[in-house]
Amino acid sequence: MLLKNAKILAVDDDQDVLVAVKMLLRPAVKEIITEKNPEKIPSLLAQHQFDLILLDMNYKSSLNTGNEGIFWLRKIREVNKTVAVIMITAYGDIDLAVRSVKEGANDFVLKPWRNERLLETLENCYQQTIAGNKQPTKKTSSITETSLLGSSEAMQDVLYKIEKIAPTDANILILGENGTGKTEVAKLIHQKSLRNQKPFVHADLGSLTESLFESELFGHKKGAFTDAREDRAGRFESANEGTLFLDEIGNISLHQQAKLLTVLQNREVTRLGTNAAVSIDIRLISATNAPIKEMASQNQYRKDLIYRLNTIEITLPPLRMRGNDVVLLGEYFMKNYGEKYHKNVVEIDEKAKLKLRQYAFPGNIRELQHSIERAVIMADNQVITAKDLDLNSSIETPVMMSQEGSTLRIDEIEKSTILKAIERYDGNITKAARELGLTRTALYRRLGKYDI
C-alpha cells in the first residue's frame, strides 16, 4: 500500500474520532500521531515532517475565529505549503468544506466516513504530494484548450470552481440551459481529477425509456428479458474507479429516482435477472436544464436524491449573459473549423463581432458553434464578415414564441426569469444570482437595466 511510507497527523477534539483513526491507520501507515488540541499544531509541525494532516473543521476551544478549521488550515499553510491537508466535516458543513478547498485544503471527507473511502482519499492526496511537480504521464487539455474559454466574471467563477473541486471526489450537479457546455464541464472535471486514467462514462438519461433505464444503468444477466442475449455490465459498472456522468438527470420519473437513490446510498448495483450485488466506486457528475429544486417543492423530484447529487453545484451562465465571451468562443471555433475545412480564415471583422454580441443565442454555445462552422464554409476570403453569419434573425434582439403563440422578446424573457429567481429566494440577491449563473455584480447591472 502506498501509505506505508506516510507520516500522518490527525487533529480532532472528539477522542472517539481519534481512536477510530488510529486503529484504522496504524497498520496502514508509517506513523500516525493524534492530537485533541489544535493549538498544539504549530509545535507539532516544528517537531515532525508530516506527509498528510487530517484536520477537523470545528473545535470546542476558546479561539473565536468563526471557524477554527479554516483558521488552522491557514496556519498550517504558513508553515508548510506542500503537506496534504484533508478536512474532516459533518454533512451540514459542506459549504465550509468547499471553502476550505479554496483556502488550500487538498480534499475533505464527511463524517461518519466509510473506512475504505477515507483510505482512498488519503492515498490519492499522498500520491499528489509525492508526485510534486512531475509531469503527468497522460497529457490533458487545459481550460484554454477547450470551448469553455471565457473572460466574463460569471465564467471565471465557474472555471475557478472547476480547478478547486476537480481533484476531490465530491458529487457534482451541473445546472444550465441547453447548449451551455454541461458535458464539456463534466469532461474537464474528469480530466483534472485523480481518476483521469480511468473511464469517463456518459449516460444520457433523457434518451432512456422506462424499460431500458435499469438495464442500461445497472446491467443485466442473459435471459433477464426477451432481448437479453448475453450478460452485460451497466453504466455504473463500466465507470468503476472512474467518473459516471448522468446527463438530463431531471428527466427521470419518481420510480427511476428511487432506484437511482438506492444505488447511490448503497454504492452497489444488482444486474437485472440476478440477486448478486456488485460494489461500485465512482465519482458522480450529474447535469440538467430542469428546475429540479422547484420540482422537489412540488413533489415531482425527490429531495433526498438532490442531496446525493449535489455535494457541490455549478451553474453555467447562458451565452447571452457572458458579454465578450461570444467573440472569444467564435474565434476559437473559427480556428478549429478553418483547420477542418482547410480554409485559411484568420479573422472575424468588427461588424461580424458586433452581430455576434447583439444576438441572444437561445441555443447558447451549440448554436454559436454551428453558426461559425457555416460562416467558415461560406467565407470568401480570410475574414468572416457579417453577411457570412446566418443567425436565423436580424441583429436586433430576436423574438421567441410563447406556448400561447404570442411573441416574447429575449429581454422580456430575461427580465421575467430574473424576477422569478428573486421572488423564489425572497429577495436574496446572492441566491438569485447563483441560480441564474451570475455574479452579484452582474445581477445588479441587470436590475438597473430592467429598472427592477
Q: What is the pLDDT of residue 433?
A: 75
State the cell numbers at 228.
437479453
Q: Which residues are CB-contacts of 197 (< 8 A; sequence separation ≥ 6)?
A: 137, 138
CB atoms within 10 A of CB 325: 22
- Residue 422 pLDDT > 70, yes or no? yes
What pLDDT is stored for residue 276 in this prediction? 87
Dist. CA 115–CA 127, nearest whole Å: 18
pLDDT-derived band at 404, boundaries 50, 70, 90: very low
What is the C-alpha to C-alpha distance for residues 64 and 351, in angstroms, rounded to an integer? 58
pLDDT score recorded for residue 100: 76
Q: What is the pTM assigned to this prediction?
A: 0.58
Looking at 9-18, 226-235, 400-409, which range is the least confident one?
400-409
Domains in the chain: boundaries = 2-131, 150-315, 320-388, 399-449
CATH architecture of residue range(s) 2-131:
3-Layer(aba) Sandwich (3.40)
Q: Is the CB of residue 129 less than 8 Å from the CB of residue 82?
A: yes
Over residues 295-324, the pLDDT tens digits come to 999 899 999 999 899 889 999 999 998 888
Residues 204-227, mean pLDDT to the nearest whole number: 81
Task: Count other Cβ atoms within 10 Å, centred on residue 204.
Answer: 14
146 CB burial (10 A radius; 0-12, 13-18, 19+): middle
DSSP H or E segment with residue 263: helix 254-266
> What is the fold, at CATH topology level, of the domain defined by 150-315?
Rossmann fold (3.40.50)
User: In CATH terms, is domain 399-449 a member of 1.10.10.60?
Assistant: yes
Going 343 to 349 to 352 to 356, the CA torsion angle's sign is positive
And the C-alpha cell for 403?
A: 406556448
Q: Which residues pair with 9 in a beta bridge?
A: 33, 53
Q: Is 86 helix (H, G, I), strand (E, B) or coil?
A: strand
pLDDT at residue 114 greater than cutoff 80: no
H or E segment to which residue 84 belongs:
strand 84-90
Rounded distance between C-alpha atoms, residue 74 and residue 303, angstroms: 35
pLDDT of residue 141: 38
The 3-state secondary structure of 376-418 reads: HHHCCCCEECHHHCCCCCCCCCCEEECCCCCEEEHHHHHHHHH
CATH fold match for the domains 2-131 and 150-315: yes
All three cell numbers of 128: 499528489
pLDDT at 55: 93
Whole-angstrom Cα distance, residue 334 to residue 81?
42
- Of the pLDDT bands very low, low, confident and very high (cuts 50, 70, 90), residue 286 is very high
- Which pLDDT band holds residue 396 (cuts at 50, 70, 90)? very low
Helices and strands of the chain, counted as H and E runs:
18, 18
End-to-end CA distance of the chain: 60
User: What is residue 394's predicted lDDT score, i.e. its pLDDT?
Assistant: 36
Q: 150 or 239: which carries more pLDDT confidence? A: 239
Model confidence pLDDT, tens digit, residues 9-36: 999 988 888 999 999 999 999 999 999 9
Is there a contact between 69 and 87 (Cβ–Cβ < 8 Å)?
yes
Per-residue confidence (pLDDT) for residue 430, from 0 to 100: 75
How many Cα atoms sit within 13 Å of 427 on the Cβ side? 1
Place of cell 512531475: 134
| Topology of the domain comprising 320-388 | Helicase, Ruva Protein; domain 3 (1.10.8)
Q: What angle do CA 375, 413, 330 make, to 5 degrees?
A: 20
Strand-pairing partners, residue 45, are: none
- 103-107, 277-281, 299-303, range with the lowest pLDDT: 103-107
**pLDDT value of residue 61:** 56
Please check whether residue 260 is in contact with residue 292, taking contact to mean a CB–CB distance below 8 angstroms. Answer: no
